[in-house]
Amino acid sequence: MKNKPSESTERLIESLYTKKGLWDRFVQPASQDEVIRHIAAAGEPAVIPDLLPILITGDRKSILASAEAIHHLLKQLKPADFAHFDEFVRLGYSDWRVRREPWYLIEPKDVSHLASMGEVSVSLLGIATCHTNGHVREEAIRELGKTETGAELPFLFRRPKRQGHEGGCGRTEQEVKFHRR
């Protein structure tokens, strides 16, 4: 996984966050959800940190397009990529951009919003397990622990339960082995 999007994809991302005046709306009629679909079609998981804030601040169409794009881009990662992806998303905080602020300011109570987004929820909760706020991560792991499809496992395997620690997904070793088949 590359850590930076291509220049053309970066321009699309910038267009999502550029304040548009009246003239721009006439000249550039592409809606935010259309731009997000173009970003997803580029197939670059490095854009995920820039799509996350739309889950918080976007309109309904943009939120759904962003959730679907993130889900699509995450499916491109191999299981071995998830540990690197965790670091990448957390480091996105150090590569601070004002546009990313809404995602990094979410609170544990906001995780339920991600859990209520249907089929793409596992991907969104999985990314929340990479959040810089440990309380948000804990709540996301708790929500993922309720999922039993196997899609949640790449996000949970990165987090072995430590001795004396009450965290973890609450899965038994037998349940995890069942999903490995």
pLDDT for residue 165 is more than 50: no
Q: Tell which of 26, 51, 84 closes a domain.
A: 84
Asked if residue 91 belongs to a domain, the reply is no
Give the pLDDT band (50/70/90) at residue 53: very high
Answer whether 121's CB lies under 8 Å from 115's CB.
yes
Listing DSSP states for 24-50 in one string gives HHHH----HHHHHHHHHHHT-GGGHHH
- Domain, as residue range, for 63: 1-84
Pair 111, 80 in one domain: no
Q: What is the pTM of this model?
A: 0.78
Q: What are 90-139's pLDDT values in tens digits?
A: 776 555 567 888 988 999 999 999 999 999 999 999 999 988 899 999 99
3-state SS of 91-136? Answer: HCCCCCCHHHHHHHCCCHHHHHHHHCCHHHHHHHHHHHCCCCCHHH
Asked if residue 93 belongs to a domain, the reply is no
pLDDT of residue 21: 62
Q: What are 16-31's pLDDT values in tens digits?
A: 887 766 655 566 656 8
pLDDT of residue 17: 82
Answer whether 124's CB lies under 8 Å from 117's CB.
yes
Asked if residue 98 belongs to a domain, the reply is no
Asked if residue 156 belongs to a domain, the reply is yes
H or E element at residue 14: helix 7-17
Pair 110, 152 in one domain: yes
